[in-house]
């Protein structure tokens, strides 16, 4: 197999490359996520789990009862974060993720609950296993930065 998602060989040096798909270059992450519609589905599933799984109840309670704005904001943010158009600032103003969460009480338990909702949401999507892991690893960094206590 030799396509752009699984580059086999460097064209100039002929050095064999990793078989791992390339994410994080240009909008490759957004494409792997199914484009903007795919991200919207992912965020809908994420908030579905936040709304229903008992371990996420505390994090759910930090949100507005109506989740529509949270969904719209997270979708817009993730589209830009995945290399797509960055509309977050023009729609909602500039954001730094840890700063946007500093007023919330986020410890290890809350961080893990947030990440669990994301893992479950990813598992519902028709994504490659490698892609789901890539997204989880990448999101674990800002999630850790949002934690403000043990
Ligand atoms: C670590 C666990 C996390 C928890 C418990 C959490 C919780 C929350 C809550 C409760 C809100 C609504 C805040 C409010 O209405 O005042 C929010 C907003 C938001 N979160 Fe998170 N979040 C977490 C991690 C993340 C991560 C990793 C990202 C993205 C990489 C993210 C992106 C956002 C965005 C874009 C908003 C909207 C910001 C705003 O307009 O204030 N969150 N989060």
Q: Best mutation site among 83, 100, 149 for ligand 1, i.e. most ligand atoms within 8 A of its Cβ? A: 100
- Angle, CA of 73, 123 and 63, to the nearest 5°: 30
Fold of 37-146: Globin-like (1.10.490)
**If you count DSSP H runs as helices and E runs as strands, how many of each does the chain have, helices first?**
8, 0
Ligand 1 pocket by Cβ (under 6 Å):
59, 62-64, 70, 73-74, 77, 92, 95, 97, 100-101, 104, 106, 110-111, 114, 139, 142-143, 146
* Structural tokens at position 106: 């986020």
Q: According to the model, what pLDDT value does residue 14 have?
A: 75
Which residues, at least 6 apart from 67, have a Cβ–Cβ distance to it below 8 Å? 47, 50, 51
Distance CA 93, CA 63 (A): 19
Q: According to the model, what pLDDT value does residue 60 have?
A: 98
Distance CA 132, CA 3 (A): 20
Distance CA 106, CA 58 (A): 10
Q: Where are the domains of the chain?
A: 37-146
28 neighbors 82 (Cβ within 8 angstroms): no
Please give the chain's pLDDT, 150 residues, in tens.
Answer: 444 455 566 677 777 766 778 999 999 999 999 999 999 999 999 999 999 999 999 999 999 999 999 999 999 999 999 999 999 999 999 999 999 999 999 999 999 999 999 999 999 999 999 999 999 999 999 999 999 999
Q: According to the model, what pLDDT value does residue 13 have?
A: 76
Q: According to the model, what pLDDT value does residue 18 have?
A: 66
Q: Is the pTM of this model over 0.75?
A: yes
Which residues, at least 6 apart from 65, have a Cβ–Cβ distance to it below 8 Å? none
Closest of 145, 141, 139, 25 to residue 78, by C-alpha: 139
């Amino acid at each position: 197999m030799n396509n752009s998602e699984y580059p086999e060989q460097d064209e100039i040096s002929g050095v064999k490359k990793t078989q791992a798909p390339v994410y994080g270059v240009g909008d490759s992450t957004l494409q792997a996520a199914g484009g903007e519609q795919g991200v919207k589905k992912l965020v809908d599933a994420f908030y579905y789990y936040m709304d229903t799984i008992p371990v996420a109840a505390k994090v759910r309670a930090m949100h507005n009862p109506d989740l529509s704005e949270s969904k719209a904001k997270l979708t817009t943010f993730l589209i830009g974060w995945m290399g797509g158009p960055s509309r977050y600032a023009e729609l909602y103003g500039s954001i730094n993720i840890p700063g946007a969460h500093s007023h919330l009480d986020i410890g290890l338990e809350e961080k893990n609950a947030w990440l669990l909702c994301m893992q479950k949401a990813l598992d519902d999507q028709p994504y490659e296993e490698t892609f789901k892991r890539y997204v989880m690893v990448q999101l674990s960094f800002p999630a850790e930065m949002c934690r403000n206590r043990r």
